[in-house]
C-alpha cells in the first residue's frame, strides 16, 4: 500500500492532467461531430461516441494494470512483447482486407490494428537493446541489430499496406540518433573494403539524420522543377529543360560555395575543399536524376497524389477531395469558430469531410472553435511533448530515457502529420490524432504507451540500469 502511494506521489501530474484534457476534448469532439438527435445520450453504445467511451474506459483499465506491474517488467519482457506484436502483424496479413488493406484483426463486431501496438513493442525492445550496449564502441553488429528491430515490423506493415504507420516508424531513427547510434560502422565497412583505403571515421555516418533532411529537400526541389523550363537572368534568351536546370543550379551553387570556401581555407586546404565540393555535386546530381527517373516509374495514381501534394496539378473534386474539403472546413471556423456542435462542413451528417471523426477530427474542432481554439489545442500538444522531453532527461536509467524519447517522437509524428494533413501541409496518409481521434486501437495503444512512460518515471529512483 505504501509502495502504491509512493508511486502515485511520484506520478508526473502535469503530463497526466494534459493527457486527461486531450482525451476529454477528443471525446467531446467525437460526440459533437457524430451527434445523432435520435440517440443524444453520450453513453449510447450503438453510436460512435458511446463506443469511444468504452474504448476510453478500457484504456484507463489497461493503464491501471500498467501501474500495478513493477516497472522493471517492461525491460525484462521487452523481447516477448516485441515478438508477440510481430506475430500479430503476421496473422493480420491472412485476414480479409478492409478498405483495401489487411490491417485489422476482427473480434466479433469490433477490431484492433496490431500495427498500433507494434509501436509499443518496438519502443521497448529498442530501449532495452540501446541500454545494454556500449555506444562508445559501437560496431556494425550494433547498428545492424538496432535497425533490424525497426525494419522488421516496418516491412510487415508495408505488406498490409499501411503507409501512415510505416512512416511513423521512421521516428525511431531520431531516437537512435539522439543516443549516438551513427552509421559510421556501416559506411566505414564499405569504404575500407576498397584496397588501400583505411578510414577511422566518416562524416556521412556521423551525420546521417542531417544528410537525410538534405536528401529529402533535394528530392522535393527536383520534383517541383524537373518538368519546368528554367530561364536564367544572366543568360538572356537561354531556356534550359527542368531536369538539366536542376543540375545547372546545383553547379552554380557549388561554384559559389567553392568561391566562399577559398576565402576561408588556406592554400593547403583548398584542394580538399575542391574535392569535397566536387563529390557533393556528383552525389546531389545523382540523387536528382535518381528521384526524377524513380518518379517517372511510379504508377499513375501514385504520381498523381505526389503532384497534388506538391501543387503541380489540381483535382479538387477527385483525388484531392479529402484534403480540399479538410482545408475548407478548417478555414470556415474563422477566428473564434461557429460554436460547439455547430460544425456544418465537417459533420458526419453532411459527409463533406470523409473520416471527420478519425483521421480528420481536427477539422470539426477547428470549425467549432476557430483559430483561437486550435492554438489552445496545439499548445496543449506542445506541452505534452515538452513534458516528455523533461521526463526523458531526468531519468537515471538509459532504458527509461530511450523509451521516453521513443514515445515523444511517435506522438510528435502523429501530431505533426495529422494536423499537416488537415491544413494541406502534409500528404493524406491516414494516421490518427493522439488521444483525440475516434478508434479503439489508437486510444488503447497511445494510452498504454503513455501509462508505461508514467510508470517508468514514477519508479525512476528505484531503477538504475
Nearest to 153 by CA among 166, 172, 171, 167: 166
- Tens of pLDDT, residues 177-187: 888 887 777 77
Q: How many domains does the chain have?
A: 1
- What is the pLDDT averaged over residues 348-356? 73
| CB of 434 closer than 8 Å to CB of 415 | yes
Instruction: Cell 470556415: give the residue.
Output: 332
pLDDT of residue 212: 74
pLDDT of residue 229: 61
* pLDDT band of 140, cuts 50, 70, 90: confident
Q: Say if residue 391 is exposed, middle or buried (CB neighbours under 10 Å; 0-12, 13-18, 19+).
A: buried
Q: Range of 415's domain?
A: 2-181+313-458
DSSP-derived 3-state class of residue 230: strand
Backbone angles phi, psi at 95, to 5 degrees: -85, 155
Give me 47's grid cell. Answer: 453510436
Region of poorest pLDDT, from 70-79, 106-115, 439-448: 106-115
Most confidently predicted of 44-58, 87-101, 185-199, 236-250: 44-58
Region of poorest pLDDT, from 270-279, 302-311, 369-378: 302-311
- What is the pLDDT averaged over residues 161-167? 85
82 Cβ contact partners less than 8 Å away, ≥ 6 residues apart: 121, 122, 124, 125, 149
Residue bearing the bigger pLDDT, 87 or 236: 87
pLDDT of residue 416: 92
151 assigned to some structural domain = yes
* pLDDT band of 23, cuts 50, 70, 90: very high
Q: Say if residue 242 is exposed, middle or buried (CB neighbours under 10 Å; 0-12, 13-18, 19+).
A: middle
pLDDT of residue 2: 46
- What is the pLDDT averaged over residues 411-432? 87
- Whether 231 has a pLDDT exceeding 60, the answer reads no
Length of the chain, in residues: 465
307 assigned to some structural domain = no
269 assigned to some structural domain = no
Q: Say if residue 329 is exposed, middle or buried (CB neighbours under 10 Å; 0-12, 13-18, 19+).
A: buried
- Tens of pLDDT, residues 386-402: 999 999 998 888 999 99
291 assigned to some structural domain = no
Region of poorest pLDDT, from 101-105, 146-150, 406-410: 101-105
- Whether 374 has a pLDDT exceeding 80, the answer reads yes
Backbone angles phi, psi at 107, to 5 degrees: -130, 90
Region of poorest pLDDT, from 11-25, 45-59, 121-135, 289-303: 289-303
- Tens of pLDDT, residues 278-315: 877 787 777 777 777 777 766 676 667 677 666 666 66
pLDDT of residue 252: 77
* pLDDT band of 108, cuts 50, 70, 90: very low
DSSP letter for 355, please.
T
Residue bearing the bigger pLDDT, 21 or 192: 21
463 assigned to some structural domain = no
301 assigned to some structural domain = no
Instruction: Cell 575500407: give the residue.
Output: 192
DSSP letter string over 262-277?
HHHS-HHHHHHHHHHH
Mean pLDDT value across the chain: 81
Nearest to 30 by CA among 445, 435, 448: 435
pLDDT of residue 110: 63
Q: Would the pTM count as exceeding 0.85?
A: no
- Whether 54 has a pLDDT exceeding 80, the answer reads yes
- Whether 1 has a pLDDT exceeding 50, the answer reads no
465 assigned to some structural domain = no
Region of poorest pLDDT, from 31-40, 132-141, 212-221, 439-448: 212-221
238 assigned to some structural domain = no
- Whether 103 has a pLDDT exceeding 70, the answer reads yes
- Whether 40 has a pLDDT exceeding 70, the answer reads yes
- Whether 454 has a pLDDT exceeding 90, the answer reads yes
pLDDT of residue 136: 74
Amino acid at each position: 500500500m505504501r509502495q502504491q502511494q509512493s508511486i502515485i506521489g511520484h506520478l508526473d501530474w502535469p503530463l497526466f492532467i494534459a493527457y486527461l484534457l486531450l482525451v476529454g476534448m477528443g471525446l467531446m469532439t467525437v460526440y459533437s461531430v457524430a451527434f445523432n438527435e435520435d440517440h443524444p445520450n453520450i453513453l449510447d453504445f450503438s453510436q460512435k461516441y458511446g463506443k469511444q467511451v468504452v474504448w476510453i474506459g478500457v484504456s484507463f483499465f489497461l493503464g491501471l494494470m500498467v501501474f500495478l506491474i513493477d516497472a522493471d517488467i517492461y525491460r525484462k519482457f521487452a523481447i516477448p512483447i516485441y515478438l508477440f506484436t510481430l506475430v500479430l502483424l503476421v496473422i493480420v496479413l491472412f485476414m480479409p482486407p478492409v478498405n483495401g488493406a489487411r490491417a485489422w484483426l476482427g473480434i466479433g463486431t469490433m477490431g484492433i490494428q496490431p500495427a498500433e501496438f507494434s509501436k509499443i513493442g518496438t519502443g521497448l525492445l529498442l530501449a532495452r537493446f540501446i541500454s545494454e550496449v556500449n555506444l562508445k564502441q559501437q560496431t556494425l553488429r550494433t547498428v545492424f541489430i538496432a535497425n533490424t528491430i525497426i525494419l522488421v515490423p516496418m516491412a510487415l506493415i508495408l505488406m498490409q499496406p499501411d503507409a501512415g504507420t510505416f512512416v511513423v516508424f521512421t521516428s525511431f531513427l531520431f531516437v537512435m540518433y539522439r543516443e549516438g547510434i551513427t552509421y559510421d560502422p556501416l559506411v566505414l565497412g564499405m569504404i575500407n573494403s576498397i584496397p588501400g583505403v583505411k578510414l577511422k571515421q566518416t562524416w556521412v555516418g556521423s551525420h546521417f539524420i542531417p544528410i537525410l533532411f538534405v536528401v529529402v529537400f533535394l528530392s522535393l526541389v527536383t520534383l517541383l522543377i524537373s518538368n519546368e523550363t528554367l530561364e536564367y537572368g544572366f543568360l538572356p534568351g537561354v531556356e534550359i529543360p527542368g531536369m538539366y536546370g536542376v543540375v545547372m543550379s546545383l553547379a552554380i551553387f557549388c561554384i559559389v560555395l567553392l568561391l566562399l570556401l577559398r576565402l576561408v581555407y588556406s592554400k593547403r586546404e583548398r584542394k580538399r575543399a575542391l574535392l569535397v565540393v566536387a563529390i557533393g555535386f556528383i552525389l546531389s546530381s545523382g540523387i536528382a536524376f535518381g528521384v526524377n527517373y524513380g518518379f517517372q516509374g511510379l504508377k499513375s495514381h501514385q504520381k498523381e497524389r505526389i503532384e497534388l501534394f506538391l501543387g503541380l496539378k489540381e483535382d479538387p473534386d477527385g483525388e484531392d477531395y479529402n484534403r480540399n474539403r479538410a482545408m475548407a472546413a478548417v478555414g470556415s471556423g474563422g477566428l473564434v469558430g461557429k460554436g460547439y456542435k455547430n460544425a456544418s462542413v465537417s459533420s458526419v451528417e453532411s459527409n463533406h469531410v470523409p473520416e471527420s471523426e478519425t483521421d480528420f477530427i481536427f477539422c470539426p474542432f477547428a470549425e467549432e472553435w476557430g483559430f483561437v481554439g486550435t492554438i489552445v489545442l496545439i499548445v496543449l500538444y506542445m506541452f505534452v511533448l515538452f513534458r516528455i522531453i523533461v521526463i526523458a532527461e531526468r531519468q537515471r536509467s538509459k532504458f527509461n530515457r530511450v523509451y521516453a524519447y521513443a514515445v515523444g517522437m511517435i506522438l510528435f509524428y502523429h501530431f505533426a502529420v495529422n494536423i499537416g494533413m488537415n491544413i494541406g501541409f502534409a500528404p493524406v496518409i491516414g494516421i490518427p490524432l493522439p488521444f483525440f481521434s475516434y478508434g479503439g486501437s489508437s486510444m488503447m495503444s497511445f494510452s498504454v504507451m503513455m501509462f508505461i512512460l508514467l510508470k517508468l518515471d514514477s519508479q525512476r529512483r528505484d531503477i538504475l540500469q
